[in-house]
């Protein structure tokens, strides 16, 4: 495994780290956690996070690839496509084309590139069953991109742990702190760091849910998350409007105590 010096994370809200609070009013997320693992392994690392909520794959490609290449990273993560998955007119080939273009450009510059598939979310959100075909198509194209470019893949969709509801936030779209922790460890393992082979260890069995608890949770989710999402997208608004990346430039990261 080479020693990495400059890590740049490209992507949407998952890369930004939503629903993993850092205790300071912002978000930590799997990219920060992965960077911390790298910093512990190497003493320190320069790290930039360009991830921004609400972006589609084409937006990530258009706004983040150029700045990322300018930083000349030797390590990068590229995660995009979930926002495309949720919209009418989803085109798996179009999404894959944008992701592959980013991965190819970073690889051509000499960077090691990591990415990951998305798990089946049917256990987290029953409506996700309607998107299984789209998700399978997107994941298979991502696997193909990695085979063709030499990017490294954390195949989260291939592990039972990925769809465990206890790894996902109440919004049923973003990982919670535990989910971000496991993804960060999975990426560390995929990058070749020692000590992370147990990243996908299953959680203890969860207690059975009672019917009235299930119904109450569905109503709360619809009122708190789903209906506002529908209204926002009907208006053509994005959750990322007016926001900027949290770490738009490379800066040293010293790992906190484990």
The whole-number pLDDT of residue 240 equals 66
Rounded Cα–Cα distance for residues 193 and 199 (Å) = 12
Yes or no: say if 75 and 124 are a contact pair by the CB < 8 Å rule.
no
The full DSSP string for 151-204 is -EEE-GGGSGGGG-GGGB-TTSSSB-HHHHHHHHHHHHHHHT-TT-TTTTPPPP
CA 256 to mean position of chain CA atoms: 22
Residue 233 DSSP SS3: helix
The pLDDT profile of the chain, 258 residues, written as one tens digit per residue, is 789 999 999 999 999 999 999 999 999 999 999 999 999 999 999 999 999 999 999 999 999 999 999 999 999 999 999 999 988 899 999 999 999 999 999 999 999 999 999 999 888 888 888 899 999 999 999 999 999 999 999 999 999 999 999 999 888 889 999 999 999 999 999 999 999 999 999 998 877 777 666 667 777 767 776 777 667 767 776 666 778 999 999 999 988 777
pTM: 0.91
The whole-number pLDDT of residue 225 equals 66
Q: What residues does 114 pair with on adjacent strands?
A: 77, 152
The whole-number pLDDT of residue 242 equals 75
The whole-number pLDDT of residue 237 equals 67
The whole-number pLDDT of residue 5 equals 97
Reported in sequence order, the residue ranges of 137-246 that DSSP labels E, i.e. its strands, are: 152-154
CB neighbour list of residue 119: distance below 8 Å, 6 or more residues apart: 156, 157, 159, 162, 163
CATH architecture, range 6-202+209-253 = 3-Layer(aba) Sandwich (3.40)
**So where are the chain's domains?**
6-202+209-253
Number of other CB atoms surrounding residue 166 within 10 Å: 13
Q: How far is CA 171 from CA 152, 175, 178, 249, in A?
A: 29, 9, 15, 30
Give the pair of three-digit tokens for residue 152.
């490294």
């Amino acid at each position: 495994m080479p020693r990495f010096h400059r890590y740049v994370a490209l992507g949407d809200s998952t890369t930004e780290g939503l629903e993993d609070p850092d205790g300071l009013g912002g978000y930590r997320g799997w990219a920060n956690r992965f960077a911390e693992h790298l910093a512990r392994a190497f003493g320190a690392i320069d790290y930039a996070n360009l991830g921004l909520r609400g972006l589609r794959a084409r937006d990530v490609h258009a706004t983040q690839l150029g700045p990322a290449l300018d930083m000349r990273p030797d390590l990068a993560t590229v995660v995009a496509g979930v926002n495309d998955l949720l919209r009418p007119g989803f085109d798996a080939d179009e999404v894959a084309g944008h992701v592959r273009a980013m991965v190819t450009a970073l690889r051509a510059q000499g960077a090691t590139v990591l990415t990951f598939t998305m798990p089946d979310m049917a256990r987290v959100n029953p409506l996700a069953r309607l998107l299984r075909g789209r998700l399978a198509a997107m994941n298979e194209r991502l696997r193909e991109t990695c085979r063709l470019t030499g990017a490294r893949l954390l195949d989260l969709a291939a592990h039972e742990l990925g769809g465990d509801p206890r790894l996902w936030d109440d919004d049923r779209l973003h990982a919670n702190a535990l989910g971000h922790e496991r993804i960060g460890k999975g990426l560390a393992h995929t990058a070749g760091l020692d000590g992370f082979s147990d990243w996908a260890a299953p959680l203890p069995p969860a207690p059975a849910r009672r019917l009235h608890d299930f119904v109450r949770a569905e109503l709360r989710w619809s009122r708190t998350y789903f209906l506002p999402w529908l209204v926002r997208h009907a208006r053509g608004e994005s959750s990322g409007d007016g926001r900027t990346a949290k770490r738009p430039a490379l800066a040293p990261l010293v790992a906190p105590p484990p």
